[in-house]
């Protein structure tokens, strides 16, 4: 039904007459004409505006009328559909129009399917509503509202638990449901006196749908709060990471944040290798993740840590470090850096205890680094065990002089240079091969690039910008080049395992897997000669105090002066000892380092590695060797016999 548009007649206004004024006739004519013209213009404009207004009003009325009628028709249709559907549903349920059993069954199946669809639609709608309304700004101290995610267990090489998730209650509030926030806060403070009052009050009065109050409370605290009977206060059980051994393996395992996400060490490595993606996809569910098995042995770790703590206290050192590796596979069996920290307790990552000195720290390794110089010389083919070098007097480079700690002042053979740890002899030996050859060898041995392992924390070596003869001379005996201790360990492993450079790993690996990533860097005969020198040093040289009866230990001491204000300080030493056992069939390497150990009366006033790091290594080997399946033996060969026994193998290798 349409409404007719009313036809408008023009608006007529009364004729305006100007009052009689004594003005000239021409002026009256002009003003009269202008007045009539203006009047007609105004009249036309007003007529047009009125017509437009009435037209728009009519159209709006028609639109409103159409909408109302449409809504009425829709409502009537909906009511009719509901009535018909209800009648059909009743007839179907009571079988009023059933024709046969098959038709009735089909009708009932359709009814069931329809009911399930309605239920799922309702659930989906509710979830969508909760997702939109949920408060995204809860959290405690920067934590998120997400419940702490599940993580896989971490076990050592023997299956002993090193890290595990346990269920822990966390306290939250629904501020919208609170009756009296102040009363609730007063009750909570009786159970949780350490609660931040200002922060908790702000959260309780926020009027939001959700807010964390305290993560990871104890079961007794949960029971006490539950008994308060506070509406709008609840608990959620979430995963909490627990480290049963406390600080024992802290630098390797690292730690997690309040949401159970890895932030350091192997925990961060695990997240970076797929776990974080599983969490985002919602697939990281408890007990559905395989444990991560490490190469570490917690028994060996405890023994190494115990001996290092004793040595640190005995020699009043600032820090102590130790690592045990399998030279055949590159597996790290134990790694200790003291001081350490307890990952179960939060702390400041900037504290000294959080620094893993074996991977993140870089040091001038001192005479321990001489082993690389001897390996380079012997592997070149130009220098043999019978070669000799003049060690009489200092080696001069302009105003710089290189001296020996205990100068022999004579011509020394290669084994003698190793035994007396001659700086002059070692420098001359390296310089005879050339600076470029020295750089190429150290790069091949992995000493000039950052060492990458499963631990995210690592540091670049500090390499001279301009590498000349003086640099090669000092680097030859362990000064002028700073590396991570684990880098040096990797190189020494290759000297005794037959010449293979194997990247170290914290994950369990067998010898076959190790050979796939191994790179030959030394000749087999070079490795045999290095084993001879290392064992000879324990028999006759500076490594004598590391000797453990029955285990055929060999090694090299290292004493480096630390740099203080750009100068080497003679009273601040970094001592180290690299031990390998058993030397006739090398299997394990032990590195011990002490930072600024002090001289004792029993060391006769010396603070060098032979008096502190070497005996500490011997004590560690004595404790861990049986754990690693290395039993003491009798009638062990000496260094000369080890070298002679390797000669047939060298000839076979040459023929191949």
Half-sphere exposure of 64 (CA within 13 A, CB side): 6
What single string gives the DSSP state of each residue in 184-218?
Answer: HHHHHHHH-TTS-HHHHHHHHTS--S-EEEESS--
Peptide bond preceding 624: is omega within 30 degrees of 0, i.e. cis? no
Q: Do residues 624 and 300 lie in contact, with contact meaning Cβ atoms separated by under 8 Å?
A: yes
C-alpha span between 552 and 450 (Å, rounded) = 33
Residues 6+ apart with CB under 8 A from 14: none
Q: First CA to last CA across the chain, in angstroms?
A: 108
Residues 6+ apart with CB under 8 A from 277: none
C-alpha span between 536 and 492 (Å, rounded) = 16
Q: Do residues 178 and 232 lie in contact, with contact meaning Cβ atoms separated by under 8 Å?
A: yes
Question: Maximum distance among all alpha carbons in the chain?
Answer: 152
Neighbours of 60 (CB within 10 A): 10
Half-sphere exposure of 462 (CA within 13 A, CB side): 12
Residues 6+ apart with CB under 8 A from 1: none
Residues 6+ apart with CB under 8 A from 34: none
DSSP state of 585: S
Q: Which member of 367, 472, 546, 646 is catalytic? A: 367
C-alpha span between 28 and 23 (Å, rounded) = 7
C-alpha span between 644 and 638 (Å, rounded) = 10
Residues pairing with 154 in the sheet: 163, 292
Q: Is-catalytic flag, 396?
A: no
Q: From residue 610, how far is each of 324, 558, 591, 592, 603 by CA, in Å?
A: 19, 8, 13, 11, 9
State which H helix or E strand residue 263 sits in. strand 262-264
Residues 6+ apart with CB under 8 A from 33: none
Find tokens 């797929």 and name the residue: 274
Closest to 589 measured CA to CA, from 247, 358, 338, 272: 358
| Rg of the chain over all Cα atoms, to the nearest angstrom | 43
Q: Supply 449's token pair.
A: 């690039």
C-alpha span between 228 and 480 (Å, rounded) = 67
Q: From residue 196, how far is each of 192, 200, 202, 235, 278 by CA, in Å?
A: 9, 6, 10, 18, 34
Q: Which residues are marked as active site?
A: 367
């Amino acid at each position: 039904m349409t409404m007719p548009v009313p036809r408008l007649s023009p608006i007529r206004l009364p004729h305006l007459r100007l009052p009689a004024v004594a003005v000239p006739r021409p002026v009256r004519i002009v003003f009269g004409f202008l007045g009539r013209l203006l009047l007609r213009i105004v009249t036309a404009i007003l007529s047009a505006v009125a017509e437009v207004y009435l037209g728009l009003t009519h159209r709006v009325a028609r639109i409103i009328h159409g909408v109302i009628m449409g809504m009425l028709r829709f409502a009537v249709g909906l009511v009719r559909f509901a009535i018909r559907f209800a009648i059909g549903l009743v007839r179907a349920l009571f079988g009023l129009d059933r024709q046969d059993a098959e038709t009735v069954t089909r009708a009932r199946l359709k009814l069931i399917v329809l009911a399930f669809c309605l239920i799922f639609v309702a659930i989906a709608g509710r979830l969508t509503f909760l997702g939109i309304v949920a408060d995204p700004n809860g959290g405690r101290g920067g934590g998120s509202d997400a419940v702490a995610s599940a993580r896989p267990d971490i076990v050592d090489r023997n299956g002993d638990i090193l890290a595990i998730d346990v269920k822990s209650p966390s306290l939250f509030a629904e501020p919208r449901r609170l009756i009296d926030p102040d009363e609730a806060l007063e009750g909570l403070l009786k159970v949780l006196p350490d609660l931040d009052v200002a922060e908790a009050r702000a959260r309780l009065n926020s009027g939001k749908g959700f807010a964390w109050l305290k993560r990871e409370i104890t079961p007794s605290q949960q029971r006490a709060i539950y008994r308060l009977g506070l509406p709008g206060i609840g608990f959620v059980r979430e995963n909490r990471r627990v480290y049963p051994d406390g600080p024992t393996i802290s630098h390797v395992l690292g730690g997690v944040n309040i949401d159970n996400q890895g932030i350091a060490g192997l925990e961060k490595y695990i997240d970076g290798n797929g776990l974080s993606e599983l969490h985002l996809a919602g697939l990281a569910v408890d007990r559905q993740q395989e444990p991560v098995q490490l190469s570490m042995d917690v028994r060996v770790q405890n023994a190494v840590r115990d001996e290092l703590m004793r040595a640190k206290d005995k020699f009043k050192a600032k820090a102590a470090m130790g690592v045990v590796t399998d030279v055949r596979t590159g597996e790290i069996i134990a790694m200790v850096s003291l001081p350490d920290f307890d990952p179960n307790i939060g702390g400041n990552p900037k504290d000294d205890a959080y620094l893993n000195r074996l991977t993140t720290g870089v040091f001038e390794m001192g005479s321990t680094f001489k082993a690389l110089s001897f390996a380079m010389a012997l592997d070149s083919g130009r220098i043999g065990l019978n070669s000799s070098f003049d060690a009489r007097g200092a080696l001069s480079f302009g105003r710089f002089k290189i001296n020996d700690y205990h100068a022999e002042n004579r011509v020394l053979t290669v084994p003698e240079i190793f035994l007396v740890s001659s700086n002059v002899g070692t420098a001359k030996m390296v310089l005879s091969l050339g600076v470029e050859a020295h750089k190429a060898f150290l790069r091949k041995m992995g000493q000039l690039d950052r060492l990458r392992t499963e631990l995210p924390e690592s540091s670049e070596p500090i390499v001279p910008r301009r590498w000349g003869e003086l640099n090669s001379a000092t680097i030859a005996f362990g000064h002028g080049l700073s590396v991570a201790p684990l880098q040096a360990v990797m190189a020494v492993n290759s000297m005794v395992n037959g010449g293979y450079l194997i990247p170290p790993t914290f994950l369990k690996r067998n010898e076959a897997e190790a050979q796939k990533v191994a790179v030959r860097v030394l000749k087999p005969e070079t490795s045999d000669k290095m084993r001879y020198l290392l064992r000879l040093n324990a028999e006759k040289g500076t490594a004598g105090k590391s000797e453990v009866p029955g285990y055929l230990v060999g090694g090299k001491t290292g004493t480096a002066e630390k740099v203080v204000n750009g100068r080497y300080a003679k009273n601040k030493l970094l001592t180290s000892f690299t031990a390998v056992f058993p030397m006739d069939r090398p299997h394990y390497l032990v590195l011990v380092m002490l930072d600024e150990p002090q001289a004792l009366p029993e060391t006769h006033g010396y603070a060098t590695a032979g008096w502190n790091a070497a005996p500490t290594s011997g004590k560690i080997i004595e404790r861990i060797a049986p754990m690693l399946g290395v039993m003491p033996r009798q009638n062990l060969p000496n260094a000369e016999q080890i070298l002679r026994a390797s000669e047939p193998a060298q000839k076979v290798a040459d023929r191949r």
